[in-house]
Amino acid sequence: MKPKVYRRGYPVAILIGVEQDHASLWHIFSNVAKPQQTIPLNGDRRDQKNLYNFHEAIINALRPTLKEGVKSIIIASAPRTNYATELQNHISGHHSWLTQGSNRATIALIVGSASTAPQVGALAKKQEFKQLIEENAAEETENILELLEKRLNENLVLYSLEEAENIILSTQSPGKPQPEYLLLTNDYLLGCRQKNRLHRLMQIAQNKKIKTRVINSESNAGARLIQLGGLICLTKRA
């Protein structure tokens, strides 16, 4: 039996629906959206200290998902509001780690409410939303490509399912390279003849907080992965 996670697909993005008095966080998978957390705004939004604390609470709630390797963030707010822009400005002003470097996130804004499942479903059907997902994914994979080339030069890349299993399923001794990313193309995932084995590895990798990303084969990063066999594991020195 396949793990439940694969019925929902693979991680695609984080959606944040910002309202006047709360924010709703959603984990967007390729097949479905799952609610993560609702963050209340304590006090009056016009109080800058309250607003600052609210934005910080949102960032703190994002950290676990970001650590799992999801770097695409879409911020939504209702028409004629600036809530999404305020959060984006807070990120730019106080969290440069989210906008700079090879592990930076891609952030996009969209008009629309995203507090309830029906609202998120309606938003996800919009062509603009689909386009943002594609654009964010393209930018994200370019960031991953930079990291990949760096690790190739450092001889910190494993090239096969078997090699990835060996390092992910076992505990590595201190001082030895540790698995950081499991990367594969969507074509590799679709065409793998050992799907149960691959799904098990992906599930264990996610459980161990190893960043697991399925990359479009038609992207630049996807094309590079195909050159390397379609699946690789990036490691890092402890």
For each successive 10 residues of the chain (238 residues), what is the average pLDDT? 51 94 94 93 96 98 86 94 97 92 84 96 92 82 85 94 94 88 93 92 89 86 92 92
- Predicted confidence at residue 206, as pLDDT, reads 84
Q: What is the pTM of this model?
A: 0.76
The bridge status of strand 72-77 relative to strand 11-18 is parallel
- Give SS3 for 106: strand
Largest distance between two CA atoms of the chain: 57
- Predicted confidence at residue 180, as pLDDT, reads 92
- Predicted confidence at residue 111, as pLDDT, reads 96
Please, where in the chain does CATH 3.30.1330.30 lie? Answer: 154-236
Superfamily of domain 154-236: Ribosomal protein L30/S12 (3.30.1330.30)
- Give SS3 for 144: helix
Please, where in the chain does CATH 3.30.420.60 lie? Answer: 4-141
Task: Identify the helix (H) or strand (E) that includes residue 164.
Answer: helix 161-169
Yes or no: say if 148 and 221 are a contact pair by the CB < 8 Å rule. Answer: yes
Yes or no: say if 80 and 61 are a contact pair by the CB < 8 Å rule. Answer: no
- Predicted confidence at residue 6, as pLDDT, reads 46
List residues bridging with 184 in a β-sheet: 214, 231
Yes or no: say if 29 and 117 are a contact pair by the CB < 8 Å rule. Answer: no
Task: Extract the tokens encoding 157.
Answer: 């890349």
Sign of CA dihedral 11, 127, 129, 134: positive
- Give SS3 for 175: coil
Say how many C-beta atoms besides its own lie within 10 A of residue 178's C-beta: 18
| Residue located via tokens 């910080």 | 56
Yes or no: say if 192 and 198 are a contact pair by the CB < 8 Å rule. Answer: yes
- Predicted confidence at residue 102, as pLDDT, reads 63
Region 4-141: CATH code: 3.30.420.60
- Predicted confidence at residue 4, as pLDDT, reads 41
